[in-house]
Amino acid sequence: MRRVAVTGVGVLTGAVAGGADAVRGLLAEGAARAGARAPGEIPASTLTALFDDDDARRLSRACQLAVGAARLAVGDAGLVPGADLGVVVGTEFGDLRSTIEFVDGYLGRGPGGLSALLFPNTVMNTMAATTAIAVRARGLSLTLNAPTVAGELAVARAASAVRAGRVEAVLAGGVDQLDPVLLEALAELGDGGDARSEGAGFVVLEPLEIARARGARILGEIVGSAWRALAARPHGVGRRAARASAIDAALGQARVAPAAVGSVQVSGAGDVARDRWERTLVERALGTHRPRVGMLAPLLGRHSGVAAVAVAAAAMDATASGAPALVNAVARGGTHVCLVVAGP
């Protein structure tokens, strides 16, 4: 089993764009900005500054978010792209804007209004595909879809692939964008109340010995990762007395006692019932120990790119305190992810 180093982070959101330094800056400002409304749409000017004409023409906005964040992460990690780089992208909604534009072409003009260029974007793996092309990642390419926790799930899956020796280096994180039709439908269906936002974020994970050998800056280490399904109906929250088996498994893998946990980043973002469920699960797993709880939602809202920031924040917490930090995320329907992050 290999040890899993976090060697870079790249994030592209309305609130912050950049690598580890940008994340550090965001967290330092955090206290001052907490309570402010989560940032919504990313301004077009942020993206036009990042892409040349050819990229801007070929890449949908969702793909631009993913590619932009991936390039920032690869740069932050000082990684030389190679055949063994993998990409694991979590997304909740995929490129829904392109999907709707594709369908509108048909509804407005019939078969002649269909766009061959838009069609690939109707499949959720296009962000991973364009990212793989942009950073020349020819190894594993995965797109994981899940409600609200897709980014954390992607990082957990990627960490397990590195740990088992299946990939040499992997970009892991997520991307989501807002869409007016989606927001309208979510409102009509009664979406739990999360502060939805948009953006992309990736961390770079690689085997610790390889990272050390190439002299990489090491932000932290993922010492445990697990994901499980809690009993819940689709779109519902489950029993609060449930055992948080993902946290137990991640701590077990990390050989970290609950009482040794220094801080917890939770996924809570305003969905009251789900957030309360998450808090109960964390408390149950940690027993009487009550570490400091961090929440990125007030700064970033909830989207699949936030996971990368949470991992970087946990690594920075763990580095500062010397105690491992948890990244926890629970979705309606029961998907539960937990990462244990230690300092370098």
Partner 1 sequence: MTPPVAVTGLGVVSPFGAGVKAYWDGLAAGACAIRPATLIETEGFRCRLAAEVPDGVGGSVRRSRADRFALAAAREALDDAGVGRRERAEAALVVGAVGGGMLEAEAWYWERHRRPTRAPAVLRSTFPSSHAEALGSVLGLGGPRETCVAACSSGAAALALAADLVADGVAPLALAGGVDALTRICFMGFNALKLLDPDPCRPFDRARRGMSIGEGAAFLVLERADRARARGARVWAELAGAGMTTDAYHVTAPHPDGEGMSRAMRGALDAAGVSPSAVGYANAHGTATPQNDRIEARAIRAVFGEGRLLVSSSKSMIGHTMAAAGALEAVATVLALVRELIPPTVHLEAPDPDVAFDCVPCTAREVAVEHAISNSFGFGGQNVTLVFRRA
Partner 2 sequence: MEPKEILDELRTILVTRLKFDPRRAADVVLETPLPKGVEGSIGLDSLDFIELSIAIEERFGIAMDEAQDLAPHFASLDTLCRYIAERMAAP
Q: What are the residues binding partner 2 (CB under 8 A)? A: 53-54, 56-58, 109, 112-117, 120
CB of 116 to partner 2, least distance (A): 4
One-letter amino acid identity for 94?
G
The two tokens of residue 263 are 């801080």
DSSP 194-216: --B--EEEEEEEEEHHHHHHTT-
Residue 106's binding partner, choosing from partner 1, partner 2, none, with beta-carbon cut-off 5 to 8 A by kind?
partner 1
**By CB under 8 A, is residue 235 in contact with partner 1?**
yes
CB of 299 to partner 1, least distance (A): 26
CB of 135 to partner 2, least distance (A): 19
DSSP state of 51: -
**By CB under 8 A, is residue 142 in contact with partner 1?**
yes
One-letter amino acid identity for 153?
L
Please state, in angstroms and rounded to a whole number, the distance separating the CA atoms of residues 307 and 92.
12
**By CB under 8 A, is residue 160 in contact with partner 1?**
yes
CB of 93 to partner 1, least distance (A): 7
CB of 179 to partner 2, least distance (A): 19
CB of 294 to partner 1, least distance (A): 25
Nearer to partner 2, 109 or 255 (CB): 109
CB of 340 to partner 1, least distance (A): 15
Nearest alpha-carbon partner for 303 in 183, 186, 175: 175
The DSSP element (H or E) to which 313 belongs, if any, is: helix 306-321
Residue whose structure tokens are 């063994």:
84
CB of 160 to partner 1, least distance (A): 7
**By CB under 8 A, is residue 315 in contact with partner 1?**
no
Nearer to partner 2, 121 or 131 (CB): 121
Site string for partner 1, 80-119 (x = CB under 8 A): ------xx----xxx----xx-xx--xx--xx--xxx--x
Out of 125, 197, 265, 267, point to the residue binding partner 1 (CB under 8 A). 125
Q: Which residues pair with 328 in a beta bridge?
A: 338
Return the ∠ at Cα 277 (arms to 290 and 341), rounded to 5°: 50
Residue 14's binding partner, choosing from partner 2, partner 1, none, with beta-carbon cut-off 5 to 8 A by kind?
none
Please state, in angstroms and rounded to a whole number, the distance separating the CA atoms of residues 331 and 92.
11
CA separation, residue 23 to residues 8, 100, 202, 285 (Å): 11, 33, 12, 28
Q: Which residues pair with 298 in a beta bridge?
A: none
Out of 13, 64, 126, 177, point to the residue binding partner 1 (CB under 8 A). 126
Region from 47-55, 64-72, 141-149, 318-326 binding partner 1, contact rule CB under 8 A: 141-149
Please state, in angstroms and rounded to a whole number, the distance separating the CA atoms of residues 237 and 278.
9
DSSP 143-193: EEE-TTTHHHHHHHHHHHHHHTTS-SEEEEEEEE---HHHHHHHHHHT---
Residue 143's binding partner, choosing from partner 2, partner 1, none, with beta-carbon cut-off 5 to 8 A by kind?
partner 1
Please state, in angstroms and rounded to a whole number, the distance separating the CA atoms of residues 265 and 325.
8
**By CB under 8 A, is residue 139 in contact with partner 1?**
yes
Please state, in angstroms and rounded to a whole number, the distance separating the CA atoms of residues 173 and 183.
23
User: Where do contacts with partner 1 occur on this chain (CB under 8 A)?
Assistant: 86-87, 92-94, 99-100, 102-103, 106-107, 110-111, 114-116, 119-120, 122-126, 128-130, 132-133, 136-147, 153, 157, 160-161, 164, 166, 184-185, 188-189, 226-235, 245, 333-335
